[in-house]
Amino acid sequence: MRRPKLRGSFFHVLLLVTPVFALSAGSITVPNFSFELPPLTNGANNNGGNGNTTAITNWTIAAPPGNTDNGVYHPLAGFTTTNPLPAPADGSQLAYLVPGIGNTSSITTSASLGTVASNMLYTLTVALGNRSDNLFFDTGTYTIDLLANGVSVAEATRAGSTIPHGTFSDLSAVFTSPASGPLIGESLTIRLSATAGSNSDEAIFDNVRLTASPVPEPATSTMIVGGMATLAWLRRRRRA
């Protein structure tokens, strides 16, 4: 008689726990996330300066006065592969910034990506590159930001020297939204920045990804822990 009763309890706990693990991250659309627009021929680039909104489709450039060396590029060389670019990059084009020694340039999504929802875990991930054809980013610093109404709520930085020449590497920034407060409903945008240590430093960005997943409430978290403990106890009883 005990065995059927335990089996029923076992499946009852599973029914309680399974919906919790169904909470998964969902992708938020980032327009022109891999910088394939505007489409360019091999070796071509499309560039612009401060305030430009067309050099990189769906992105706005911020650069020092007179600096127009920022835009989209379809490389012929400089990476281990170029058509397509090596993972974690995506496609065959990329965004680039050449700020000049001691300067910072950036690109920001031109339109809102949505609004901040309560109790959500937002993860921004960007593929950063370091060329292998003398336009290294070895003395530069990358910064990625998730913005709420233009103010950074999540930021991550990485030295260009940590990325091997000719490759790309991911960098992520994470933001957990509160249950309530002034941040809820604010407009989300993304900013990618580069600070140069030399005039030849060229920053490379690609494959911009943003995900959001619900954060379990305290009662839900307690249920997860309690449910797992009960499952372990039931398994031990069944073995005994």
CA distances from 19 to 16, 120, 233 (A): 7, 17, 21
Edge to edge, the sheet with strand 188-195 lists 59-62, 104-109, 188-195, 141-148, 151-159
Per-residue pLDDT at 25: 77
The model's pTM is: 0.83
Structure tokens at 19: 């919906």
State the DSSP string of 72-139: EE--SSSSS--SSPPTTS-SS-EEEE---TT-EEEEEESS---BPPTTEEEEEEEEEEE-SSS---TT
For the stretch 157-209, pLDDT in tens is 999 999 999 999 999 999 999 999 999 999 999 999 999 999 999 999 999 99
Per-residue pLDDT at 216: 82
Question: Side chain identity at 122, as an amino acid letter?
Answer: Y
For the stretch 92-149, pLDDT in tens is 999 999 999 999 999 999 999 999 999 999 999 999 999 999 899 999 999 999 999 9
Per-residue pLDDT at 150: 98
Q: Which domains does the chain have, with CATH numbers?
A: 24-215 (2.60.120.260)
